[in-house]
């Protein structure tokens, strides 16, 4: 799992929008503030509009602004809107398969890592990060070794 440069820039642009509290931000200004080429910022804007996270207003006094409340959107939702589902390994993708899946002792590890990553990124909202409201927390289920089978699906006989 790799957080792409595009996702990093999208998060930075969204941070600016949160700080502006409903104000409009031109793509050009956003590009300059996050030090990204204008065309790349336009691409990010387009993706965030398609995901329903921001809205874009045309015209001389146009720009972009948040369409969602930053309290209601998690970091995972933003990451997945920009770069797709969080997948740790091909075998953990929806419908993912692997020829060794039935006897691979690592499949459960990748599934567990994916569940942990999703849970961690779901534990914090855009508002939490931008306004330093709290530190991300991980569900206590990940501390309990006996709970492992509940979040790490595995089809191999060793895990059952």
What was the pLDDT predicted at 106?
Answer: 82
What was the pLDDT predicted at 90?
Answer: 78
pTM: 0.81
Interacting residues of 126 by C-beta distance below 8 A, sequence separation 6+: 14, 15, 18, 70, 71, 73, 74, 75, 78
> Among candidates 90, 18, 93, 92, which has minimal Cα distance to 48?
18
Q: How confident is the model at residue 31 (pLDDT cuts 50, 70, 90)?
A: very high
* Domain parsing of the chain, residue ranges: 5-66, 85-151
Residue 157 has pLDDT above 50, yes or no: no
Q: How far is the C-alpha of 152 from the C-alpha of 48, rounded, in Å?
A: 31
Q: How far is CA 75 from the centre of its chain?
A: 5
CATH of the structural domain 5-66, one choice from 3.90.1570.10, 2.40.110.10, 1.20.120.550, 1.10.10.10: 1.10.10.10
The token pair that represents 142 in the structure block: 């990940």
Q: How many CA atoms lie within 13 A of 134 on its CB side?
A: 9
Run of H or E residues at 6: helix 5-19
pLDDT, tens digit (0-9, with 9 covering 90-100), for 92-126: 888 777 778 777 778 788 888 888 888 889 888 99
pLDDT, tens digit (0-9, with 9 covering 90-100), for 125-149: 999 889 887 666 667 777 777 877 7
Average pLDDT over every residue of 32-59:
92
């Amino acid at each position: 799992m790799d957080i792409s440069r595009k996702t990093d820039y999208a998060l930075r642009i969204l941070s600016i929008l949160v700080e502006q509290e409903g104000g409009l931000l031109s793509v050009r200004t956003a590009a300059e503030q996050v030090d990204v080429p204008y065309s790349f910022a336009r691409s990010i804007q387009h993706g965030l509009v398609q995901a329903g996270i921001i809205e874009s207003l045309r015209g001389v006094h146009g720009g972009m602004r948040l369409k969602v409340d930053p309290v209601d959107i998690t970091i995972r939702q933003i990451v997945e809107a920009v770069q797709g589902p969080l997948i740790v390994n091909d075998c953990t993708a929806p419908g993912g398969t692997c020829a060794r899946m039935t006897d691979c002792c690592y499949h459960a590890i990748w599934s567990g890592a994916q569940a942990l990553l999703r849970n961690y990124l779901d534990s914090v909202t855009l508002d939490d990060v931008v306004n330093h409201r709290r530190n991300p927390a991980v569900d206590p289920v990940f501390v309990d070794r006996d709970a492992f089978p509940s979040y790490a699906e595995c089809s191999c006989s060793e895990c059952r």
